[in-house]
Amino acid sequence: MKKEANMRTWIFCAFVLALILPAIPVLAENSITIDSVATFTNQTGKVPVNFTNDIELAGVELTVWWNSPEIQIDSFSFIDGRVDYTTLKGTYVMGDTVTVYALPFSGEPLIGIGTGLFGHLHFSYPLEINPQVVTIDSVTVIVPPDVDYGTRFMEPSKGYFTPDFNKGYLDIQQAFGCCSGIRGNVDNQGDDEPNIADLTYLVSFLFQGGPPPDCPEEADMNADGDPEANVADLTYLIAFLFLGGPDPLPCNP
């Protein structure tokens, strides 16, 4: 009986998502995407970067900037990414910009067709930073006398082309105190009781690249402490709104 109840819950969740979630856009055949993530003022920012390519590549170069002087880049990690195997890879920081590159060395295979992780941008900031949403976007940097860094894919023929680029956001929230009463005010519209608008906002963030919740704790429906809202939080919210599931949990004191 329990398995049947769980199955009915998942079927209903899928039905609700089908009603409120427009068609998710298909990634471009050649693209680089900066994910949008939420974090707290007492934590660092770890931002995933993904890329998609429909031809084999001889290299990937990414150059981004961010619109907050309080943010600094600590490193870029290739671990567990699609280009982690390459020998020639590195990071070049220039003020509020960073260039990351990966090139298969002689004898190493080209970067195969596919989609997946390029790596993670690691940001840090002072503890006294004000909560803010930081935009991470592509940029071209010219270094004298005549060297330019940008976002591009290298073809095996040594030619370059520019892939589609999807900017992302690092949403830095106050570590404590942004959640009031009970959890679930995902859209930050003043209604403490969760409603369809909160569900729509959460779906947009999780599946359509929408903005992150203003207060991550409000979106942490199952109170697991993860600053990034996830499908488990969405399932909890759907169960409460439509299936007679448990009430929203209180915010942390």
* CATH number for the domain that contains residue 196: 1.10.1330
153 and 48 together in one domain: yes
Nearest CA-CA partner of 13 in 231, 251, 191, 212: 231
Sign of the alpha-carbon dihedral angle for 19, 5, 236, 189: positive
- The pLDDT of residue 252 is 72
* CATH number for the domain that contains residue 69: 2.60.40.680
115-159: per-residue pLDDT in tens?
999 999 999 999 888 889 999 999 999 888 888 999 999 999 879
Q: For residue 107, how many other CB atoms are within 10 A of its CB?
A: 6
**pLDDT(2) > 80:** no
Cα 198 from Cα 94, distance rounded (Å): 40
In a domain, 9, yes or no: no
- The pLDDT of residue 127 is 80
In a domain, 95, yes or no: yes
145-199: per-residue pLDDT in tens?
888 999 999 999 879 999 999 999 999 887 666 777 889 989 887 677 899 999 9
DSSP 102: E
164 and 100 together in one domain: yes
169 and 193 together in one domain: no
**pLDDT(51) > 60:** yes
92-118: per-residue pLDDT in tens?
998 899 999 999 988 899 999 999 999
161 and 47 together in one domain: yes
Range of the domain at 57: 31-173
- The pLDDT of residue 43 is 79
- The pLDDT of residue 189 is 77
Cα 17 from Cα 245, distance rounded (Å): 17
Burial of 242 (0-12, 13-18, 19+ CB in 10 A): middle
Cα 202 from Cα 187, distance rounded (Å): 8
In a domain, 253, yes or no: no
> What stretches of the chain show up as alpha helix (H) in DSSP?
2-20, 196-207, 216-219, 231-242
35 and 156 together in one domain: yes
Structural domain total, the chain:
2
211 and 156 together in one domain: no
224 and 126 together in one domain: no
191 and 104 together in one domain: no
SS3 state at 41: coil
55-94: per-residue pLDDT in tens?
999 999 999 999 999 999 999 999 999 999 999 999 999 8
**Among 118, 142, 173, residue at a domain's last position:** 173
In a domain, 220, yes or no: yes
In a domain, 19, yes or no: no
φ and ψ of 199, to 5 deg: -65, -45
Close Cβ partners of 130 (under 8 Å, ≥ 6 residues apart): none
**Among 154, 173, 192, residue at a domain's last position:** 173
Nearest CA-CA partner of 111 in 90, 88, 78, 86: 86
